[in-house]
Amino acid sequence: MAWNRRSYQWFYDKIHSRYYNLLIKWCFLPLGGEKKVRQELLEPVRFLSGDRILDMGCGTGNATFAIAEKVGEEAEIVGLDLSCGQIGLARKNNRFPNISFLIADASNAPFEEGCFDKVFITHAIHEMPREMRLKALREAKRILQQEGKVVVLELDRPNNFFVRLFMGLWCGYWLPFNFETPTRRDMLKHGVANEVEEAGFTKVRKISQFRYNYRGVFQVVEGEK
């Protein structure tokens, strides 16, 4: 299925946003639940008091809320997403005074250069074609201050065949209308860490932590401007 921005945005605004949170809870369920997984994937990330943080492609804001819980009230956090439906839910569920949400394109973010300490891209780039993934990563680099960091939380390809099979069945990768399948496969083919480097980041590394990122189901990639 060819990626079409207009139909993609319409799908998220009008349809997907209505059951997105339920779907995410379902996907995280066999790994211990959404809240637990999000907290543990963020565990190795080093935060500083007063960080200015962007969550790029924030969806309904659940990852943004997990970041806020970890970093505390001293940080300023902005969640950005292209879908007004997703952002509407994020704003409705926001209980944090230091979080604001914005409807905008990740590949053309409305921020000046060097205005963030960290940019998170949380389970978003696997839905993008390669050209857009690289644009989003380069935009993240532009709006980071010198020595600022991008942190990409994404799907990975488990080495264990049975883990791959189970997660593929559980998350519906086999469904013929799953529009994420071509872009997810392409992302894994090129490698998240490779694309972060290609976008111009240095000191790029995969962060390993609890259960080695859940037996390879997830990856956390960090790069520095």
- For residue 140, give the amino acid letter: A
Domains and CATH numbers, the chain: 5-224 (3.40.50.150)
DSSP the chain: ----HHHHHHHIIIIIHHHHHHHHHHHHGGGT-HHHHHHHHHTT----TT-EEEEET-TTSHHHHHHHHHH-TTSEEEEEES-HHHHHHHHHH---TTEEEEE--GGG-S--TT-EEEEEEES-GGGS-HHHHHHHHHHHHHHEEEEEEEEEEEE---SSHHHHHHHHHHTTTT-TT-THHHHHHHHHHH-HHHHHHHTT-EEEEEE--THHHHHHTEEEEEEE-
- Side by side, the strands of the sheet bearing 76-81 are 99-103, 76-81, 52-56, 116-122, 144-155, 218-224, 202-207
Q: What is the pLDDT of residue 22?
A: 79
Nearest to 200 by CA among 119, 145, 151, 137: 137
Q: What is the pLDDT of residue 2?
A: 46
Q: What is the pLDDT of residue 217?
A: 87
Q: What is the pLDDT of residue 216?
A: 80
In sequence order, which residues have a C-beta less than 8 Å from that of residue 169 and are 6 or more positions away?
none
Q: What is the pLDDT of residue 1?
A: 41
**Cβ atoms of 55 and 67 closer than 8 Å:** yes
Kindly report the pTM of this predicted structure: 0.87
Nearest to 157 by CA among 121, 136, 126: 126
Residue 44 CA to residue 52 CA, distance in Å, equals 18
Q: What is the pLDDT of residue 70?
A: 93
The whole-number mean pLDDT for each consecutive block of 10 residues of the chain, a chain of 225 residues, reads: 59 70 80 85 88 95 95 94 91 96 93 96 92 96 97 90 80 70 92 97 83 73 96
Residue 46 CA to residue 98 CA, distance in Å, equals 19
Residue 51 CA to residue 39 CA, distance in Å, equals 18
> How far are the Cα atoms of 32, 118, 151, 216, 218 from residue 211, in angstroms, in the given order?
12, 25, 19, 8, 10
